[in-house]
Amino acid sequence: MEALPIVWTPIWADLTVAAVSILVAGIVRELMGPIRPHWIRPYLASGAILDVLALPVLFRLLAADNYVAVAGGAGQSLMGIFAFMFNAMIFVGLILMSLIVVFDCVRDVGRLLNVSRIPFRASPGSRA
């Protein structure tokens, strides 16, 4: 099997630990919903915290020059064009992801503030 004509740049290796850690924490957060469905405040707060933690990772990726490069050097003009288009596509995807994360964070904080106005009860069936 022949190697791919493009390679990932080092930015991906630099941010892998942070990105995977945030993703694992997000999975744990989503498991919190079915296990403890009445933990609305911690669910919303952890979502906002994860969004805030994801933003520096996304901004670091947006600040990178390239996401992929031509494996054989700059001599392959067709692969250079492909790498340029792939870089542009990744950049646009990162911008969209950043906008979604900001929107999600603002929404979670708003919902958290709204839920915080409701008096806390020890359990759903108890009377306060």
Q: What does the alpha-carbon distance between residue 36 and residue 44 come to, in Å, rounded to a whole number? A: 13
- What's residue 37's pLDDT? 77
Q: What does the alpha-carbon distance between residue 36 and residue 120 come to, in Å, rounded to a whole number? A: 15
With CA atoms as reference, report the closest residue to 40 among 114, 100, 105: 114
Taking only the tens place, the pLDDT of each residue in 87-122 is 999 999 999 999 999 999 999 999 998 887 766 555
**Are the C-beta atoms of 112 and 45 separated by less than 8 Å?**
yes
Question: Which residue's structure tokens are 């992929």?
Answer: 68
CA geometry: angle 60, 17, 82, nearest 5 deg: 55
- What's residue 127's pLDDT? 56
Kindly indicate the confidence band of residue 12, based on its pLDDT and cuts at 50, 70 and 90. Answer: very high
**Helix, strand, or coil (residue 68):** strand
User: Helices (H) and strands (E) in the chain — how many of each?
Assistant: 3, 2
Q: Indicate the pTM of the whole model.
A: 0.78
Q: What does the alpha-carbon distance between residue 5 and residue 7 come to, in Å, rounded to a whole number? A: 7
Q: Name the β-bridge partners of 6.
A: 70
